[in-house]
Each structure stands twice: as structure tokens, then as C-alpha cells.
Structure 1
């Protein structure tokens, strides 16, 4: 796989680090797209040593900032013509943090987990289209189970920013951002199918957090994180699922799907409100996801918002033009 290139965002810790190692061991050219270069340089050296693959490159990327995304994509395109796999692994979820905005004036959780990946994917679309088997994978979360409640919605789509700030919690916004990411997965799969680009997501139920990640938490949340680490699988477990979805032949034609942690394809829940027993099966199971994702009005509104916030209200796709027209 020496001629195949994979970009993994947030590849310096947790699942991203293990995924970078997994691909490197299989002789892929691995691009570690990371914000903290000091930590990432050491991780890169470890991955090269363990995998015996020196085709591991570190490139700076803050996925919450449009300027950083544009620079990353430009630098990548100056070095490489083709991209085979794009894994959006980086995410923001910092327990107890107050409302914060990105450098572009967007709530930081939503900017990092939704808007940034939207822009990055479009800027790299031409490179993906040059691959014979291009695949995109988004790291989702089982936190979207909150949307089994029919009253839940993505507040960001209503433009009620004062209300968002007033009732803000990182946990609530994280749930909304991961639901939005699931909606984007399905919408991108639909739009990019004509180019042969497979777009899927995986619902992560948790993974052992690194010491670096836990250090970012406030004291009372650190204890919770340490306890959680006892009961959840190591990051390498989910990294193997990343690799499987992005490389195996059985998924050559699979697109627009949400996978569980066993790499089984999940289905939308019925629209009708279930009884108590079925509710419990939905909440604790891994076979269905909320029917909220099936609302085309919501996904269209989300797509329009992402285009507007990234300054790209007109995005067109032409079959014979490898690079999208972004105005």
C-alpha cells in the first residue's frame, strides 16, 4: 500500500494515534494532521519506529480554524496529487468548559466537529477523486442517542445564538455536533456518490483516553475519566474498525452508512415513539440510530449553514472536473 495515502486528523493521541500506527504498519503513507506539534513529533517518531515505515508525515492542522484548514489543504496539494482515505477523527469535547468561539466566531465544539470537517472535505475533494477507491470516514459517537427523544433538535440550525449561549453546556453541544456530523455523512454520501467516493461514519461507544487527554479535564472530571477507562476498550480496538471500514473489499460499495463498534451497519429507528421496553433496547443497543437523521429538511438546512459559515455558498460538482467549483 506504499502508493496509498491516508490523512488522519487528531492523530497524536487516542484512537487517532492507534489508527495512524495501524495504517503505517500496513505500509500506507500516513499524514498526521495535528494541532499540537510538540506532542505530535514524539508520537510520529514512535509510530515510525514501531511500524518500520518512514512514510509518516506530520502536518499542522487546527480543524476549528478556517485559515489553518486552508493552509493544510494547500500544503498537502503542493506535495501530493492523490488522497485515498480521509479520516475525520479530531473532535472537541472538554468537560466543564464555558461557551467559547473559534477564531472564525463559531461556537468551538460545532466549529471543530462539524464546520471544519465540511470545509476540509470540500477542499480535498479533487485529491480524493483522483483515487481509484476513495473513502471518507467520520468519527461519530453514541451520544446521538439523546435524539431518540423526539423533542431534541440541533439548536444551531435555528440561529438562536443568544439562547444557545444562555443554556450552553459542552455536553449538550457535543451531542448536537455529533448528530450534525451524522447528517453530513449521509448528505455527503448522496452528493459524492457520482464520483465513486464512499462516505461513512462509525458510532464510537468510548475508548480508553490517553493521559494527555485527561490532563485537559478539570479535577472533578478527571476522576470520571479514570473510572471510565476501566470499563471501555483500548483505543486500538476502534482503530482496527477504522482500518477495516476504510480498506476492506466488503465495503467497496458501501456508502452513506453508520457503523457500530462491531462494524455492523446500523439502521434508523422507526418514526413512531416506542414503548418503554423498545426505548431501553434503543438506548442500550447498537443496532439503530435516531430517526431524526431521516429529516431531509434538517439535513438540507445543515448543509446550507455549513456552506454559508465557510464562505462557500455556491458549491457545484462536475463529473469531468476533478476540483469542485467553490465561489
Structure 2
């Protein structure tokens, strides 16, 4: 038993009186519906797996069946994604996951039709000319909002939580808006348990292997030709952490990645480079320190010392904020649950 409505605003329970039932959504544009469903209905399959519902497309109709709370959440997720497509955006599996997390953050039951008092989404967003990126978890939302409120932001947590990527998007946004004159990318030149030895080439070529994740993020949110032009004319600068001493970084968006591998002295030196009109983001995973035994991570010390200092925001991520792949979150939890051991022994 079901009722067809523009956004399934009426819940029709099964006649046997259990908690199951059905909502049928109607789409005016089949092209938008097709984009919403994804290639081979992969977005619907992901939604079914995550929420424990069944989603059956019938042309411009979509029947959502299952427990009431899950069906209401699925309806809310699809409405948000539909609005995004209608405004010219794209929807990938990561966007479906983000919409699920967003609706979960808003509450257990959700209205199935938008109202004037209810915006299409509450999570913060970063935008460049090439791409718009919305937060996918409450922690990412707090992180993005901290960018606009604090000169120095720490993003601390496990791999795959978007710490570095969002910092790069923020920097690109500031540059395009003219709020800063340049982007400076830095990272400790510490190998993850390996020794690469002598690296040939100029300075950029020597540090490329260490800064590749930052380059990848820049190319994702800025046109490749602008990234290359920026690297050539100094608007985008690659600066190994060891070479930052003595500089004053004014009117710049500064990112220190993999900061858990900075020593205490290096971290203090880097943080005190902050100049007028600059914004600084420091990211790292305290559980992946590659410093020699006996050396204190500068990131851990800085987070402890600067917590509560005016102008500084410390944003902490956990395994529930992993957005890279579902399996990554499970890997992080497995390692955190295992007894602590020094794998370098």
C-alpha cells in the first residue's frame, strides 16, 4: 500500500501493523532521476546497503520500502541530492555518503518536503571556480567553519578524514577571492619507515614525492594550467619545513601537512612564521609518527600547549569521520583496538 507524492510526504504503513511501509517519490525530469540513481543504480545500491531499505526505480517513480525511520532518512537524502543535481552539481558515491551523514546529524526523522525554514543542507561548503566541496561529517563542518574564524587551525585525526584536502580547498578559495597573495605548502621530509637516499633534481623535484598529496588536491580544485603557472611564478610555493626558518609568511595561505613528523623545535619555528594577513592550517595524524625513537612529535606538543589560545582552533577527527572508503574506517578501528607495539623493533 502506498501513496505517490512529489516527495513522499505521506507515510503509508503496511496493513499488517508492523513498522514497515513504503514511500514513493515522483521526479518531473527523468534525466535528473537517472543522474540521482547513478551508473547502474549504484547510488541507490549504496543507499540500500547503508540504511537497510530497498529502493526500486520505476521510470520517474522511486519506491522506498523498509522501516519508517530509514525510509524517511532515505527520502531526505535523495531530496538533498536531487536539489544538488538540479542546481548543476554532480553526485558520486562520496556525495551520497555525505548526505547520509548530514541527515543523521540533523536528527532521526526528517521532513520529506523542503520548507522555507529548512535549508537544503546545514553543512558548511568551500568553493573554487572549478569545484564546490561540502562537509560530509559534523567534524568536517566544524573544521571548515573554523577556517573562517581563526588564523591558525589544527586538523588532527586518522587518515581519510579529509584534513589535508579541505585545507587545500580552503587555500585555493582564499587565493581566488584575493584574500591572500599566495599559497605555501610545507611538509617534513621524513620517509614513512624507509630511506629514499639521494634524490636528483632541483628543489621542487626533490620534495615532489613528499608533497604529492597536496599537488593532487590542488589539481582537483584548480585548473591544472593555473597550478603549473602558480608554481612557476611563485604564487604557489613548495617549501620543505627545514627551510622555513627566518621567514615571515605574510598575506599567504600556509599549510603544514604530516605535522606529526615535525619535531618540537620545528613546530615552534613554523608556527612563529605566521605573518600579517595570513591563514595557517596544520594537519597530521598522531598515530602515524615516523620520527626516530625518543623524539617528541611537535604536533602533539603544539595541540597540548595551544588548546584554548585565542585565535587558535583545534579540530579533532575520529574513525567515524573517515570519508575515503568504508574499509578505511574499519582499518583505523582495527589498529586502534590492537595493543600498542613499536612496529620498528
Q: Where on the TM-score scale, by shorter chain, does this alignment land: which range? A: under 0.3
Task: Decide which structure has greater helix share.
Answer: 1
TM-score by length of 2: 0.23
TM-score by length of 1: 0.23
